[in-house]
């Protein structure tokens, strides 16, 4: 650089440095506020409130029926009648279909005939037994009078024993034929498909004319007069869920409706792979508006207070491992840090168990503060009324 330009350039630099130093000291003397000359921090404030608060845990799950079963035949055959379709209501014991029963009716007729034969044989055996007994008694009497011989008595006794055995066999045959007839009648009854419990037809798997095998699914029946919402709870929330707690359920199909129920049961174990447990909430469903398979959101009330000290959750701050809040008391606009003990906490509000808080609470900008920091409250300089701008922030 040319020497004639070097000296003027150096002089300009020196003048700039001197001006910066003077400006800094002037700002320190004139704009200083609070302890240590810290500039005030712009914050938002609210007041401590007293009101109700609830601890709600949201779970997701599905609606399932109170019970569900499949109607299936116990025998094979062709389905010749099916009286129900999906959505139809059936009562306990109501016949909903019929299998071709010609073969089974014939089996009943055959069993009845065999029973009649066995009964006739029993009557004949009874008559022969009576005759053999009378003959034995007569020979015994004649032998006492010396008219009959011992060989005749032996023959009479032997015939009596044979007829007695024949009678016992005839009785057993009658019992056997009666059992066969009952079995045939039971198999004939299997040709009628009946509902074992009332409900609605959920699915229809076959149509009339189908050739069915034993245990083949015909229709399903679901009971939805009351339903169960089965949801998953994480390990973190598992310890807070107990039977008997109130639950509020919503479904996507009816977003404006709320369904109330109670926690009926909770699984005694967590699935090892997912670390979740199953929770069941029972809900009365008299209008049957809730249907199995619907996606459900379950809000379970863990704890509640009717009236307690609460502050906005965003007002909480952590300092040295403790939880606290910054307050502004009457007088100078200076933030005072107070350690607190919290209770129920929600995304919007947190219960303060202790101590009792006095003054206004800082809700925004507290992460820049320390105990004793000066603050600047824009709402006070603009309107002069803080409470009017914060009334809508939460419960009164």
Q: pLDDT digits over 286-312, tens only?
A: 899 999 999 999 999 888 888 999 999
Answer yes or no: do 178 and 201 share one domain.
no
d(CA 38, CA 100) in angstroms, rounded, equals 97
Answer yes or no: do 233 and 290 share one domain.
yes
Q: What is the pLDDT of residue 118?
A: 94
Rg from Cα positions in the chain: 47
CB 231 within 8 A of CB 296: yes
| Residue at which a domain ends, from 238, 272, 304 | 304
Q: What is the pLDDT of residue 46?
A: 87
Listed as ranges, residues in the chain with pLDDT below 70 are 1-38, 378-396
Domain extent for 48? 34-53+307-391
Q: What is the pLDDT of residue 69?
A: 96
Q: What is the pLDDT of residue 388?
A: 31
pTM of the model: 0.63
CATH number at residue 179: 1.10.287
Q: What is the pLDDT of residue 292?
A: 95
Answer yes or no: do 81 and 213 share one domain.
yes
Of 98, 35, 118, 117, nearest to 369 by C-alpha is 35
Answer yes or no: do 232 and 267 share one domain.
yes
Q: What is the pLDDT of residue 13?
A: 60
Answer yes or no: do 340 and 283 share one domain.
no
Mapped onto helix, strand or coil, the DSSP state of residue 240 is coil
* Token pair of 245 as six digits: 């707690």
DSSP state of 37: G
> Does residue 45 lie in a domain region?
yes
Which stretches of 114-241 are assigned E, i.e. beta strand?
192-194, 199-204, 211-212, 219-234
The size of the chain, in residues, is 396
> Does residue 18 lie in a domain region?
no
pLDDT digits (tens, 9 = 90+) for 42-84: 888 888 899 999 888 899 999 999 999 999 999 999 999 999 9
CATH number at residue 245: 2.40.30.170
> Does residue 118 lie in a domain region?
yes
Q: What is the pLDDT of residue 25?
A: 47
- Domains in the chain: how many in total? 4
Mapped onto helix, strand or coil, the DSSP state of residue 68 is strand
């Amino acid at each position: 650089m040319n020497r004639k330009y070097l000296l003027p350039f150096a002089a300009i630099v020196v003048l700039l440095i001197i001006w910066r130093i003077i400006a800094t000291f002037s700002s320190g003397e004139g704009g200083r506020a609070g302890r240590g000359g810290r500039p005030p921090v712009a914050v938002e404030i609210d007041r401590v409130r007293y009101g109700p608060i609830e601890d709600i845990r949201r779970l997701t799950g599905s609606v399932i029926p109170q019970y569900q079963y499949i109607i299936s035949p116990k025998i094979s055959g062709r389905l010749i009648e099916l009286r129900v379709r999906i959505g139809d209501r059936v009562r306990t014991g109501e016949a909903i279909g019929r299998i071709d029963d010609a073969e089974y009716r014939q089996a009943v007729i055959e069993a009845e005939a065999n029973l009649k034969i066995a009964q006739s044989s029993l009557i004949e055996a009874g008559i022969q037994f009576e005759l053999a007994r009378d003959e034995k008694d007569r020979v015994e009497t004649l032998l006492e009078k010396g008219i009959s011989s011992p060989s005749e008595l032996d023959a009479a006794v032997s015939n009596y024993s044979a007829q007695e055995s024949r009678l016992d066999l005839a009785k057993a045959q009658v019992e056997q034929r009666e059992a066969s007839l009952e079995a045939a009648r039971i198999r004939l009854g299997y040709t009628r498909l009946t509902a074992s419990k009332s409900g609605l037809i959920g699915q229809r798997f076959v149509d009339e004319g189908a050739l069915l095998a034993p245990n083949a699914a015909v229709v399903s029946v679901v009971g939805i007069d009351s339903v169960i919402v089965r949801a998953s709870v994480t390990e973190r929330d598992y310890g807070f869920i107990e039977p008997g707690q109130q639950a509020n359920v919503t479904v996507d199909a009816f977003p404006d409706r709320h369904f109330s129920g109670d926690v009926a049961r909770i699984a005694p174990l967590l699935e090892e792979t997912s670390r979740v447990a199953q929770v069941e909430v029972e809900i009365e469903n008299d209008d049957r508006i809730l249907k199995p398979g619907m996606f459900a959101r379950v809000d379970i009330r863990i704890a509640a207070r009717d009236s307690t000290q609460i502050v906005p959750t965003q007002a909480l701050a952590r300092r040295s491992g403790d939880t606290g809040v910054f307050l502004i008391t009457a007088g100078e606009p200076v933030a005072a840090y107070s350690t607190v003990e919290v209770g129920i906490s929600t995304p919007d509000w947190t219960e303060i168990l202790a101590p009792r808080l006095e003054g206004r609470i800082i809700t925004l900008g507290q992460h820049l503060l320390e105990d004793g920091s000066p603050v600047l409250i824009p709402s006070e300089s603009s309107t002069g009324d803080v409470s009017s701008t914060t009334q809508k922030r939460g419960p009164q």
